Amino acid sequence: MNRVEVELGDRSYPIFIGEDLLGSQIAAQHINGRQVALITNSTIAPLYAARVKAALGNLRVDVFELPDGEAYKNIESFGSIIDWLMDNRHNRSTTLIALGGGVVGDLTGFVAATFQRGVDFIQLPTTLLAQVDSSVGGKTAINHPRGKNMIGAFYQPKCVIADTSVFETLPDREYRAGLAEVVKYGIISDAEFFEWLEDHADGLLRKDAATLTHAIRRSVEIKAEVVASDERETGRRAILNYGHTFGHALETATGYTKLLHGEAVAIGMAAASSLSTTVTGLKPEAAARVVKLLADLGLPTRIPAGLQVQELIDLMRMDKKVIDGGLRLIVADEIGTVQVTAAVQERDVADVLARCGADQ
Ligand code: NAD
Ligand code: GLY
């Protein structure tokens, strides 16, 4: 088993990575009270809830099952969980456990941050995206009808337990979408890791256990280091959003139905790398390596047909990184080194969107 620490003073916590961890005693060892509220969804509950419950031994465990989907990461689900916690007499010593992908994790984390002004919570991420990204770092949120993740809090879990055996049941498309975030860590922080990913694309696609464990471990080490340096995103943490401003615009423009988040981020990283060749002088060969690695991992790198350049730019202006109406984007100096910049001309963004397949 691998262990990575997120160093945040008295809010520090460990991330455990390994096979068959859902049935282990690790979660129980991080619970202080006697009561647990296990929050999951209708797809994951039949696969894994019994295993988690069995490992919690003598604790009182209530299970809340959400319907599956991003559409349920909303204020109504939040209200239903709070009602249910109160109906079942949960209190400040209750520990919430999120068993699922980023949707369950973000929602459960936000409930934990707010129920009785904050209760302990544990993340049991079951998608690759959740293991390498959303379960680590304390961003919790629900969606508002007018914007994704518009209501939320920074609230850290007590621990994260990433069981790599859960990928046996994860659909391949969801798995590949998670690989996009793994590639992101190489681009933003570690050229050697990027090269390692280029050499191990086949092993990653085969879900080879040792290859996968190394990829997850290195990804969360990088995320933990960035979060420890800037927990509340006053500056550096924004680099975790490489390609995401383009990606979010693509998700919104396609109504959240055509592209998975990781797929939109893959296209976004191809676009951000292309933009970097203009803004920072990133070598075109480096931008081409990003596109090739994403393609080798079965990810899209072109904007889907039928989207307009101006429509995408307008959506990019809705990004949370925008300050006083000005676009702020992450660009790469080279693979392994990126920066946040406001010095991007809208014309250059338009050119990149057109180069990546948007209609002018
Ligand atoms: P998801 O939670 O919707 O899970 C994807 C699908 O896979 C769902 O249908 C789910 O039920 C199913 N599933 C999950 N694990 C499974 C398993 N082991 N076997 C079979 N099916 C399984 O999607 P996601 O990609 O994990 O998360 C996306 C969410 O994460 C978005 O809401 C996004 O905003 C959020 N996010 C948050 C952060 C953060 O820092 N908090 C970072 C990135 C993304
Ligand atoms: N997913 C971006 C962040 O955690 O900051």
Kindly list the distances between the CA atom of residue 330 and the CA atoms of 156, 225, 333, in Å, as whole numbers in the listed order: 25, 18, 10
Per DSSP, the three-state class of 248 is: helix
Q: Is the CB of 130 under 6 A from ligand 1?
A: yes
Ligand 1 centre to CA of 295 (Å) is 22
Q: Is the CB of 218 under 6 A from ligand 2?
A: no
Q: What pLDDT does residue 323 have? A: 66
169 burial level (CB within 10 Å; 0-12, 13-18, 19+): exposed
Q: Is the CB of 184 under 6 A from ligand 2?
A: no
The whole-angstrom distance between residue 210's C-alpha and the CA centroid of its chain comes to 22
**CB pairs under 8 A, 24+ apart, for 166-171?**
166/22, 166/47, 166/48, 166/126, 167/128, 167/207, 167/212, 169/47, 170/126, 170/127, 170/128
Q: What pLDDT does residue 146 have? A: 79
Atom of ligand 1 nearest to the CA of 141: 41
Provide the CB-side half-sphere exposure for 322 (13 A, CA). 14
Is CATH 3.40.190.10 the right assignment for the domain spanning 2-168? no
Q: What pLDDT does residue 324 have? A: 64
List the residue whose alpha carbon is closest to atom 4 of ligand 1: 101
Atom of ligand 1 nearest to the CA of 127: 15
Q: Could you give the residue range(s) of every CATH 3.40.50.1970 domain in the chain?
A: 2-168
pLDDT in tens, the chain (360 residues): 899 999 999 999 999 999 999 999 999 999 999 999 999 999 999 999 999 999 999 899 999 999 999 999 999 999 999 999 999 999 999 999 999 999 999 999 999 999 999 999 999 999 999 999 999 999 999 998 878 899 999 999 999 999 999 999 999 999 999 999 999 999 999 999 999 999 999 999 999 999 999 999 999 999 999 999 999 999 999 999 999 999 999 999 998 889 999 999 999 999 999 999 999 999 999 999 999 999 999 999 999 999 999 999 999 987 766 666 678 899 999 999 999 998 899 999 999 999 999 999
Per DSSP, the three-state class of 275 is: helix
Q: Is the CB of 240 under 6 A from ligand 2?
A: yes
Assign domain 172-355 to its CATH architecture.
Answer: Up-down Bundle (1.20)
Q: Could you give the residue range(s) of every CATH 1.20.1090.10 domain in the chain?
A: 172-355
**How far is Cα 85 from Cα 62, in angstroms, rounded to an integer?**
9
Please choose, from the candidates 244, 230, 231, 233, the residue with its C-alpha nearest in 3D space to the C-alpha of residue 330. 244
Active-site residue identified among 73, 174, 241, 263: 241
The pair of structure tokens assigned to 211 is 């290859």
pTM of whole model > 0.75? yes
**How far is Cα 40 from Cα 175, in angstroms, rounded to an integer?**
19
Select from 126, 168, 251 the residue to mutate for testing ligand 1; criterion: most ligand atoms less than 8 Å from CB. 126
Atom of ligand 2 nearest to the CA of 136: 4
**How far is Cα 82 from Cα 194, in angstroms, rounded to an integer?**
42
